[in-house]
Amino acid sequence: MQHHVYFWLKDENKNEADRNSFEKGMEQLLKIENIASGIWGKSADTPERPVTDKSFDYALSLTFDSVEEHNIYQNHAEHHVFVDAYKNFWASAKVMDVG
């Protein structure tokens, strides 16, 4: 299954130091052992199209071997560390899970 999260940072957290910290936090998430694969990134510099939303600051995309593995991730201590450390950085976050 796929777990996609899109983050819109607060204006006050768009500085270089906060962005570097947020990026390191996402790197730590990717080390959680039950993630089959994962990447994070910023909006790609692709051509503008009516269906493309480039308004987000960061995206995280994780793949799990099963819904059960995803659920383990959601309760993993390192996931909670990330959320607790950075929840005040984002103005909005959207999660889209694909089974």
- For residues 35 and 16, give the distance between their C-alpha atoms in angstroms, rounded to a whole number: 28
SS3 3: strand
Distance from chain centroid for Cα 46: 20
Amino acid occupying residue 76:
H
Helix (H) / strand (E) element for 28: namely: helix 16-29
Over the chain, what is the mean pLDDT?
A: 97
SS3 55: coil
- For residues 32 and 75, give the distance between their C-alpha atoms in angstroms, rounded to a whole number: 11
Tens-digit pLDDT profile for residues 78-90: 999 999 999 999 9
Tens-digit pLDDT profile for residues 29-60: 999 999 999 999 999 999 999 999 999 999 99
The residue extents of the domains of the chain are 1-43
Mean pLDDT calculated for residue range 65-92? 98
